Structure 1
């Protein structure tokens, strides 16, 4: 926080012999403090010369007001600047520095794991495509086997009925009709079983 002014040439000249403040007959203590501040840099052990504290400026302003002086403070402070000292950064705590470095390493490891996980996911997706292809091939194979079994079952039912009906029917047309009826019934039963099996597979997906 600023608490000092760098006195300008106007304030320095006003305190010199024959200056404006000499005619104001400043109190001895106030004048001595102002002269010491302008000559030695004030009560600060370091910093630029001619540092005047705000306290001295307030005392000077109060004295001029009490005397109803025609000399205004803003005229005396012409060319003066507020002194802003450099902020001294405290030394960093070694434990805090070590902890920050540890956190940076952890974050780097987590980032590496995240990147590696993404690469692994991509590889697993490729493996997933191959596994899906294998599942489709197996499904097609099962479908072909089911259709083949259906055809064999219907044909076997037809042939068995046709050959067995010769003991019941003597005419060829009756034997063929009976074989067709039995083959149709067997085929419908097989279709029903196939539909139920397909519905079960879709329900598991």
Structure 2
């Protein structure tokens, strides 16, 4: 943390004028600053005493006017040297993490270049096709069952065959549309998970 400020000419002038009012501990620091001249560093404790002296004497010059153009002196922080064992351990951990990342990225890459693929690959490719075939078969069976149930059940309402077929087609169409709606919503959900 900063504890000093670089001196400018107006601040040197104020320190020369009020040199006699400082405490013995601060007057040595003031004399040292006056000997070095502009660009030297003055501690904040001296600046606090200077501010008190300016207020006691009722001066028309304020401390912020004297500090204008000054800059805070920040001491250089010496960074400690890194422990070689720690550096070696960190490098080892980095290498291990990089190796794990590489293995994660390349876990599904095979080094065999056969054109047919393995049985596991074939199973993965057939599974979606199997699901689609079962879904289409289920769709067709549902429509056929709706048609058959309506045709058989409508014999009590209609005496003619044309009325029975027409009502069966209408019911099968509604069931088919409902099944299609459910199918589309299901497929949309499965595509969203991919």
TM-score (norm: length of structure 1): 0.48
Report the equivalent of 2:49: 59
In 2 relative to 1, CA 64–15 (structure 1 residues): closer, same or farther, beyond 3 Å?
A: closer
Task: Tell me whether 1:92 sits opposite 2:88 in the alignment.
Answer: no
Residues 2 and 82 of structure 1 are in contact (CA less than 8 Å); yes or no, is this contact kept in structure 2? yes
Mapped to 2, the partners of 1:123 and 1:111 lie a distance apart of 24
In 2 relative to 1, CA 3–87 (structure 1 residues): closer, same or farther, beyond 3 Å?
A: same
Task: Tell me whether 1:26 sits opposite 2:21 in the alignment.
Answer: yes
TM-score (norm: length of structure 2): 0.51
1:35 to 31, 35, 38: 31
Q: Structure 1 residue 61: deviation in Å?
A: 0.8
In 2 relative to 1, CA 72–131 (structure 1 residues): closer, same or farther, beyond 3 Å?
A: closer
Gaps of 5+ in 2: 127-194
Aligned length: 122
In 2 relative to 1, CA 58–28 (structure 1 residues): closer, same or farther, beyond 3 Å?
A: closer
Gaps of 5+ in 1: 42-47, 136-205
Report the equivalent of 2:118: 127
1:107 to 97, 105, 111: 97
Mapped to 2, the partners of 1:130 and 1:110 lie a distance apart of 25
When the two chains are superposed, the root-mean-square deviation of aligned CA atoms in Å is 3.4
- Pairwise mapping of residues 1-205 of structure 1 onto structure 2 (< 5 A)? 1-16=1-16, 20-21=17-18, 25-27=20-22, 29=24, 30-40=26-36, 50-120=40-110, 126-128=117-119
Mapped to 2, the partners of 1:36 and 1:121 lie a distance apart of 77
Q: Structure 1 residue 60: deviation in Å?
A: 1.2
Report the equivalent of 1:44: none
